[in-house]
Amino acid sequence: MHTEPRGVDQRQGHALHYAPQATRDKVMPCVTLPRHIGLHGNLGKSGLRVSCLGLGTWVTFGGQISDEVAEQLMSIAYESGVNLFDTAEVYAAGRAEVILGNIIKKKGWRRSSLVITTKLYWGGKAETERGLSRKHIIEGLKGSLQRMQLEYVDVVFANRPDSNTPMEEIVRAMTHVINQGMAMYWGTSRWTAMEIMEAYSVARQFNLIPPVCEQAEYHLFQREKVEVQLPELYHKIGVGAMTWSPLACGIISGKYENGIPETSRASMKSYQWLRDKIVSEDGRKQQAKLKELGHIAEKLGCTLPQLAVAWCLRNEGVSSVLLGTSNPEQLTENLGAIQVLPKMTSHVVSDIDHILGNRPYSKKDYRS
């Protein structure tokens, strides 16, 4: 789906590298990655260049971690070549956006060097403060920009489909905020392929701006949408895939193999659903498969999380994989997945498929 092989960036100076020791304040030992492993690609068929790994702020910023740790994470990511930072108006009730904006301002990073994305749907308790009405898209994005102290975001996402709002109204509102300079592009999150096609059709019918990207959950245990549905959209209308939860909310990290640690996401009050998922019969089966995958990771000389992230990256239909980490060690480990990517041969991928037993089947080749 990309004109250049996954992992290769022909522009100099954009290989992934770790932050200088002074920047990281003794966080992790300095590791230099191969200079030929690139980091950037186009977001779908748009011209926007995004790092193939991005940093997300769900649960962590304004919730699970302190502002100081958030700054450490963003610094490590930025100095490693990551340019994509994702948030949403609903994360920590807006606090995540505030923290993100404060860090960008404090660091003095050039705005033009960053790709900042946010998502709209749940903005407040009032009926008019949620959904994808023209009113909430415009007011919600204004609120997000104020919290982040930014003039614009690079991509604004519709965080859910909204059956209560006509598609034409949604597309017109997204076109409006782009024309007003509040956003460069717009995308969707958790939308079906049919809903995305409808938005595209409306945009073409009324000479409006279509979405460029779908944010979708993608990991070893959830594959259908990204591997079967989105490739069709990419080839037909140029919509790319930005994926999240490569470790399945931490399940793939291996941390839940012997129970639920007190400091984990699954131990938080609002994550009863995750606890239930882990201790379920399916959850136990997943842990058994992860043990087998651990042997593959060992052979490749990497950790299980690195294998899982590299597995997501090996899919050329994925423009960027969003990482969600709660400490510098986790982030540095996950960024190391770039080193594993060249080892993801067809033989290794086949072995992984054999263990998982969940490879989705597509009848069509949309590239023909």
Domain boundaries, the chain: 21-356
Q: Is the pLDDT of residue 23 over 50?
A: no
Identify the pLDDT of residue 30: 35
pLDDT in the model for residue 280 = 76
121 is catalytic: no
User: What are the pLDDT digits (tens) for 317-354?
Assistant: 999 999 999 999 999 999 999 999 999 999 999 999 99
**Of the candidate ranges 244-248, 262-266, 334-338, the one whose mean pLDDT is the lowest:** 262-266
pLDDT exceeds cutoff 70 at 185 = yes
What is the pTM for the complete model shown? 0.86
Give the mean pLDDT of 96-101.
97
Catalytic residue among 18, 91, 218, 256: 91
pLDDT beyond 60 at 222: yes
Model confidence over 351-362: pLDDT tens digits? 999 999 999 987
State the average pLDDT for the chain. Answer: 87
- pLDDT value at residue 50: 98
| Superfamily designation of domain 21-356 | NADP-dependent oxidoreductase domain (3.20.20.100)
Task: Evaluate whether 153 touches 181 at the Cβ level (below 8 Å).
Answer: no
89-98, pLDDT tens digit by residue?
A: 999 999 999 9
What's the burial of 266, exposed, middle or buried (CB within 10 Å: 0-12/13-18/19+)?
Answer: buried
Q: State residue 282's pLDDT score.
A: 83
**Dihedral sign, Cα of residue 228, residue 215, residue 8, residue 236:** positive
Taking alpha carbons only, the member of 227, 233, 190, 182 closest to residue 212 is: 233
Is 1's pLDDT higher than 60?
no
Q: What b/e readout covers 294-314, taking b as 16+ CB neighbours within 10 angstroms?
A: eebbeebebbbbbbbbbbbbb
Report the DSSP beta bridge partners of residue 320: 242
Q: How confident is the model at residue 123 (pLDDT cuts 50, 70, 90)?
A: very high
